[in-house]
Structure 1
Amino acid sequence: MRKIFSFLAIALLVVGVPYSCAQDSASKDKPLTIETKKQKASYALGYNMGRQIKEMAEDLDMDIMLQGIKDSALGKTEQIPPQEMHKSLQEFYAEFSKRMQEKKRIQGEKNLAEGEAFLKDNAKKEGVKVTQSGLQYMVLKEGTGPKPKPSDRVKVHYRGSLIDGKEFDSSYKRGEPNIFPLQRMIRGWVEGIQLMNVGSKYRFFIPAKLAYGTRGQRDIAPNAVLIFEVELLNIEPPLDPHPPRKPPATSKPKTPPKEKKK
């Protein structure tokens, strides 16, 4: 619990700087100046931290929060006794956690119903095949190379999206394919990639039970159906579990100094 409070305090401190600057800029109708390395790093760090406490923002009074940051940074005495601050943070986090769990539950139920309806309709479309597990796929291009085994490492280009079309990941956008140990991927990938020959391109429609289930993952909500367009480029050689060790560097013996001639 203490670690959570510490993280929250740091996050609020960092995000408070760009927020305060933005407020000042807005009042003067001037854009925020971000030019130097220090300014860019400050904004980037603040933005990333702010994204992590984004869902807390509606439960916080920004003006009072910023005053707390200012008081602490300037070494002023707390305006609330330390014990009361600790108690208020405990209560805040407990209420926030409860609200998030309920929100996640409702979102999960909604996604489950929408996902089932989507998969039911999608299974009727021309070219869509359904496996015994419920995985759906379309062959966009059939390759002629070998098929991978669960223990293989695969080199792929891929694009992942939700049923509403929102893209959450893409190796194409990063400009380079990825290499994955297949057995460490979600169940839908483990099953689906084994259907492919090297050189193939498939589109997979993965039920939540074969993806991230009720827990979700980052930008993927609970019970979300995932759509992946995958191009299998190669089956990579296995990594050597015992790579050869480099011999320790040896220092050259020092050459004794030459004696001076008398």
Structure 2
Amino acid sequence: MSILKKTMLSVALTFVFVGSALAQDMTPEAKESYSLGASLGNYLSSQAFKQSELGAPVNMDLVVEGLMDALKNKSKLSEEEIVTSLNTRAEKLNQLHEAKVKEVKEKNRAESLAYLEKNKKKKGVKVLASGVQYEELKAGTGPSPKEEDVVTMVYVGKLVNGTPFTNAEGTPAEEKDVVMTLIPGFKEGLSQMKEGGKAVFVIPADKGYGENGAGPVPPESALIFEVTLKKVEKPGANKESNQAMPAGHPPMNGSRPKMAWPHS
């Protein structure tokens, strides 16, 4: 925990009981005004912490002073000076962010390549033409899925360091998907399977979510999936399921769907 965060925490604890007592005496209108200030304070605190973590320290005393001066219309700096200073800081933050992202990418790339190199020597692992590594745990007896098919599967995904990303608990989940909607490495792994089979795919970053990552998957990360292929269906075989989006694309919540893994 940084010094900045410790300071904010101690200040918050100092006033928590006093604040609770005062809040009980506030009128609804007073609470609205107070909430505006609290919301602004939370935003400033969050931004200050994030910037300090990147390596751009923030003097909170001066932040508060600048805020109070602005409210009184007695700023010590001209508007031009403020804009120039903020632009300078924005450039600095961009450079620090780019350096941090580069560092994360290089670390993840090295860890992923090391894991792939080690895993390919494991007995039973087959390296496919794309570099995807396939290990059969149980042979299936049904058909192999094609791009246009709908598959029902149980799977769990994790990073090479063991961190699960398909769900917070790291537990297997059942899902129905159209094969063509899945990431390239996952599609290739499925093509090796037959209905009823179980396998492990180790997918290089360039056949997964690449240099940008996605959600909880960091950039340049190889992915490990343990998959049980329960059913393979031809398009239109299940009319009821055709009337809605497949399980990989949950119903709309508001204006956009929540994408599930391992979609492209």
In structure 1, distance between residues paired with 2:9 and 2:103: 34
CA contact (8 A) 2:160 2:222 kept: yes
- Corresponding residue of 2:188: 191
In structure 1, distance between residues paired with 2:172 and 2:123: 31
Q: Max radius of gyration: which structure? A: 1
Tell whether 2:221 aligns with 1:218: no
- Corresponding residue of 1:104: 101
Question: For residue 225 of structure 2, what is the amino acid of its counterpart?
Answer: F
CA contact (8 A) 1:171 1:178 kept: no
Tell whether 2:137 aligns with 1:140: yes
Q: Superposed, which structure 2 residues align to 1:197-236 within 5 Å?
A: 197-235=194-232
Structure 1 residue corresponding to 2:14, chosen from 24, 27, 33: 27
Give the TM-score normalised by the residue count of structure 2: 0.63
Question: For residue 154 of structure 1, what is the amino acid of its counterpart?
Answer: V
Tell whether 2:118 aligns with 1:121: yes
Question: For residue 174 of structure 2, what is the amino acid of its counterpart?
Answer: P
Structure 2 unpaired stretches of 5+: 21-34, 237-241, 245-264
- Equivalent residue of 1:167, what SS? coil
Q: Deviations over 1:217-236 (max 9, x none)?
A: 23323221111112223345
Give the TM-score normalised by the residue count of structure 1: 0.63
Structure-2 change in CA distance of 1:53 and 1:174 (3 Å): farther
CA contact (8 A) 1:158 1:171 kept: no
Deviation at 1:204, TM superposition (A): 0.9
Structure 1 residue corresponding to 2:73, chosen from 61, 77, 81: 77
In structure 1, distance between residues paired with 2:205 and 2:61: 42
Structure 1 residue corresponding to 2:51, chosen from 56, 59, 67: 56
- Corresponding residue of 2:87: 90
Q: Deviations over 1:178-215 (max 9, x none)?
A: 33332232211111112222322211111112112222
- Equivalent residue of 2:225, what SS? strand
In structure 1, distance between residues paired with 2:153 and 2:169: 10
Identity %: 30
Tell whether 2:146 aligns with 1:149: yes
Deviation at 1:123, TM superposition (A): 0.9
Question: For residue 195 of structure 1, what is the amino acid of its counterpart?
Answer: Q
Q: Which deviates more from structure 2 when the two are superposed, residues 63-72 or residues 90-99? A: 63-72
Structure-2 change in CA distance of 1:161 and 1:29 (3 Å): same
- Corresponding residue of 1:67: 64
- Equivalent residue of 2:121, what SS? coil
Deviation at 1:136, TM superposition (A): 0.5
Question: For residue 84 of structure 2, what is the amino acid of its counterpart?
Answer: K
In structure 1, distance between residues paired with 2:48 and 2:152: 35
**Cα RMSD between the aligned structures?**
4.0
- Equivalent residue of 2:85, what SS? helix
In structure 1, distance between residues paired with 2:48 and 2:227: 33
CA contact (8 A) 1:56 1:96 kept: yes
Aligned length: 212
Q: Which deviates more from structure 2 when the two are superposed, residues 122-131 or residues 110-119? A: 110-119
In structure 1, distance between residues paired with 2:102 and 2:86: 24
CA contact (8 A) 1:150 1:183 kept: yes
Q: Deviations over 1:51-74 (max 9, x none)?
A: x986434325262486279649x9
Structure-2 change in CA distance of 1:201 and 1:66 (3 Å): farther
Deviation at 1:22, TM superposition (A): 4.2
